[in-house]
Amino acid sequence: MRIIAIALNTFKEAIRDRILYLLLFFAATSIIFSRLLALLTVGDRVKIIKDVGLASLSLFGALMAILMGTSLVYKEIDKKTIFTLLSKPIHRLQFLLGKFFGLVFTLFIMISLMSLIFLALIFFHTFRIEWKMLLAILFIFMELALVTSVAILFSCFSTPILSSIFSLSFYLIGHLSWGLETLIHKIKGGAAKTLVQILYTFLPDLENFNFKTEVVHALPIQAKFLVFSTLYGVFYTLFILTLAILVFRRRDFI
């Protein structure tokens, strides 16, 4: 119950944040702008709208998670409200999980609003509901939950600016680490190849949540990839949250 209470309070604080609505405005503008881009581009207009729309959901959703997540814990410390909260019978684990679930619920609402605009725009062109888009959106949301946990982890020991830089780096590296797999096949055996393999193993691979190409171009998706991506997201998020809880437990607020 305490986790739920903290989550609801976090949600109420988050929906009053102007940054949230500013990003929502830019996301909606980007999705609507995709129609104009489709008109100016040679090719399948609907596919361009789908591609740009899903990319907008992912990018602006990540910015929401990073900019809000990195200030969640720091804000409580800066305003000294952390002393009042922790003086009550609230465990630090409950406090952190409440913050996490509160922000994830906020992101769920924002992604839902952006998705409605996106799906309405597609319906305007095709006159049918593209249910398969929901699969790509679901995994985008799963990715945002992971990014939120990372943002909260950094907010436990760093300032919002540095935490934002670290979290954004995590997001960018996660979407570029796939290039290391190609590099592994091109490098001949030796220390360099071993180093690249180690980096590829430990760096996040957010492309596991990227099903945009398959959905937009109606390509088949094997069930085993969906299961793997789901398990990857759940366990990676739990791992990051565990690290955040361990760091937060060691913080001395006196």
Q: What letters, b where the CB count within 10 A reaches 16 and e where it falls short, cover 25-48?
A: eebbebbbebbeebeeeeeebeeb
Return phi, psi of residue 219, to 5°: -90, 150
DSSP track, 216-252: HTT----HHHHHHHHHHHHHHHHHHHHHHHHHHHH--
Regions of the chain where pLDDT drops below 50: none
In terms of residue numbers, what domain contains 16?
Answer: 2-250
| pLDDT of amino acid 253 | 59
Number of structural domains the chain divides into: 1
207-219, pLDDT tens digit by residue? 999 999 899 888 8
Tokens encoding 166:
């670290």
Q: CB 250: neighbour CB atoms within 10 A?
A: 10
| pLDDT of amino acid 97 | 92
pTM surpassing 0.95?
no
Degrees, nearest 5: CA angle 110-74-101: 40
Helices (H), the chain: 2-14, 18-40, 45-78, 81-87, 92-126, 133-155, 160-176, 178-186, 191-202, 212-216, 223-250
CA pair distance 28, 196, nearest whole angstrom: 39
Return phi, psi of residue 235, to 5°: -75, -35
| pLDDT of amino acid 2 | 81
CA pair distance 94, 5, nearest whole angstrom: 10
Q: What is the DSSP letter of 88?
A: S
Question: With contact defined as beta carbons under 8 Å apart, do 234 and 146 qualify?
Answer: no
Q: What is the dihedral of CA 57, 63, 66, 68, to 10 degrees?
A: -100
CA pair distance 77, 254, nearest whole angstrom: 11
CA pair distance 189, 198, nearest whole angstrom: 13
